[in-house]
């Protein structure tokens, strides 16, 4: 059964208030599940969001033969019984994060087989950097409907320069190098906080990873890791925190976002302050207050960039924000070609958005938005539509909300508690 959201828009009124909690980071926990393949004992993970993508990686591990035990927001993963390294087609084709499993599997078993990974349709997302890295580490790559990567005698350390910054590539090859023979150096590596938290935990369990948080990461390969009862706590989801902050800026007269790490969204915070927003930033919370209906938001120039720059996953919610800002804003998407296609639906709601090229848009505001029927195209654009519907005049119906469920835990329940009129129901189409 497919489901949809019915959202009664606020029509520009700032009526949301209260406190909303941030869950564990989707982009961290999916990689933690893959990391369980590096351990010879049980890996415990806490602060796990209850989202569809976690359910899929759980199925992926179980299909390999792993033991997956679930409690509320916590998992115990044991991969000691895993003997095969071919990823299930049906699951992997639905989940982009399945590619991260290839590194630990190849390093542990000397062979891995997988289909081209699925996920959101936000432009080309090639896996060449993964394959080139594995090749430099001594692997052979073949393709016959599925990719098969194999080694003779195991992976060997290598110097690998990423020709473009890749988060999943950095994570995948970092984990592969943890079990490889010798030293691996990853250059032009990604610096996202999710990578740092994973590396720090792996180091506490016997890995030797140095330089995380800088563009050069050095890994001394070794044997299987031991958790020895330690628990990997998932860091707060910075994309969710940023999205709630943007929603609060648009529709709340007072809102506190808790259980977050403001340092992880510092670029967004500074941009919103430059736009005129009043924020109180604590160690693990952000509070908005004093921003009334008469408060005028100023236009901004936004350019997505790898961390610590402006996150591409926050670009769709930020675009919704800019439709309500005074003046002309520009958004330049540097990470994914095609990620701005969702803006056509915002235009149909009343937004004044012009696409200069596939990676740049101009937004004139403020413009009132009107409710309409929408189709969620991916996780982040889906949430952006939810935000747009929240501030629009009239009702909106948002279909294909499975995408939103992939990344946000029971979003309608949490937003209802701060005053949004949103209902989940069976789809009528």
Q: What's the Rg (C-alpha) of the chain?
A: 22
Helix (H, G, I), strand (E, B) or coil at 330: strand
Tell me: do 122 and 264 sit in the same domain.
no
Instruction: Among 174, 205, 233, give the residue marking a domain's end.
Output: 233
Sheet strands (E) in 47-146: 67-71, 74-78, 111-114, 139-143
Q: What is the CATH number of the domain that holds 344?
A: 3.65.10.10
Six-digit token string for 40? 């010879």
Q: Are 112 and 149 in contact (CB under 8 A)?
A: yes
Of 269, 237, 240, 192, the C-alpha closest to 380 is 240
d(Cα 297, Cα 366) in Å, to the nearest integer? 9
Same domain, yes or no: 293 and 337: yes
Same domain, residue pair 189 and 331:
no
Count how many Cα atoms sit within 13 Å of the Cα of residue 140 in the half-sphere of its side chain: 5
**Contacts for 147 with CB less than 8 Å, ≥ 6 apart:** 113, 114, 115, 116, 131, 141
- The 3-state secondary structure of 73-88 reads CEEEEECCCCCCCECC
User: In this structure, is the dihedral angle defined by the CA atoms of residues 415, 417, 421 and 424, taken in order, positive or negative?
Assistant: positive
Instruction: Please give the chain's pLDDT, 429 residues, in tens.
Output: 799 999 999 998 999 999 999 999 999 999 999 999 999 999 999 999 999 999 999 999 999 999 999 999 999 999 999 999 999 999 998 888 899 999 999 999 999 999 987 644 444 447 899 999 999 999 999 999 899 999 999 999 999 999 999 999 999 999 999 999 999 999 999 999 999 999 999 999 999 999 999 999 999 999 999 999 999 999 999 999 999 999 999 999 899 999 999 999 999 999 999 998 989 999 999 999 866 666 688 999 999 999 999 999 999 999 999 999 999 999 999 998 889 999 999 999 999 999 999 999 999 999 999 999 999 999 999 999 999 999 999 999 999 999 999 999 999 999 999 999 999 999 866
pTM of the model: 0.95
Let me know whether 217 and 266 are in one domain: no
Domain termination residue (choose one: 233, 263, 297): 233
If one counts the domains in the chain, the total is 2
């Amino acid at each position: 059964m497919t489901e949809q959201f019915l959202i009664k828009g606020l029509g520009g009124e700032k009526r949301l208030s209260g406190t909303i909690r941030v869950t564990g980071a989707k982009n961290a926990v999916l990689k933690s599940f893959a990391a369980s393949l590096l351990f010879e004992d049980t890996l415990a993970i806490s602060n796990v969001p209850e989202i569809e993508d976690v359910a899929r990686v759980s199925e992926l591990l179980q299909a390999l033969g792993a033991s997956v035990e679930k409690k509320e927001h916590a998992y115990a993963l044991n991969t000691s019984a895993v003997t095969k390294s071919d990823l299930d087609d049906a699951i992997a084709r639905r989940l982009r994060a399945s590619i991260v499993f290839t590194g630990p599997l190849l390093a542990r078993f000397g062979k891995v087989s997988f289909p081209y990974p699925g996920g959101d349709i936000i432009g080309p997302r090639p896996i060449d950097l993964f394959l080139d890295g594995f090749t430099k580490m001594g692997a052979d790559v073949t393709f016959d409907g599925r990719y098969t990567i194999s080694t003779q005698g195991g992976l060997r350390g290598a110097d690998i320069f990423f020709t473009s910054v890749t988060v999943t590539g950095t994570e995948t090859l970092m984990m592969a190098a943890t079990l490889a023979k010798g030293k691996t150096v990853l250059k032009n590596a990604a610096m996202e906080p999710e990578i740092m938290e994973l590396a720090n935990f792996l180091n506490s369990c016997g890995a030797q990873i140095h330089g995380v948080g800088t563009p050069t990461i050095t890994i001394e390969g070794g044997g299987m890791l031991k958790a020895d009862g330690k628990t990997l706590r998932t860091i707060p989801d910075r994309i969710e925190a940023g999205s709630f902050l943007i929603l609060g800026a648009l529709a709340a007269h007072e809102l506190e976002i808790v259980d977050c790490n403001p340092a992880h969204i510092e670029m967004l915070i500074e941009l919103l302050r430059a736009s005129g927003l009043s924020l109180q930033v604590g160690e693990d919370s952000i509070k908005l207050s004093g921003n009334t209906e008469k408060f005028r938001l100023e236009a901004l120039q936004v350019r997505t960039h790898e961390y610590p720059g402006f996150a591409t996953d926050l670009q769709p919610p930020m675009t919704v924000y800019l439709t309500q800002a005074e003046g002309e804003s520009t958004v330049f998407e540097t990470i994914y070609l095609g990620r701005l296609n969702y803006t056509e639906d915002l235009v149909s709601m009343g937004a004044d958005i012009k696409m200069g090229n596939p990676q740049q848009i101009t937004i004139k505001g403020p413009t009132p938005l009107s409710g309409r029927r929408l189709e969620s195209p991916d996780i982040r654009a889906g949430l952006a539509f939810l935000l747009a519907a929240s501030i629009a005049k009239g009702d909106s119906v948002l279909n294909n909300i499975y995408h939103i469920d992939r990344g946000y835990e029971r979003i309608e329940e949490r937003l209802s508690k701060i005053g949004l009129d949103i209902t989940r129901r069976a789809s009528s189409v």
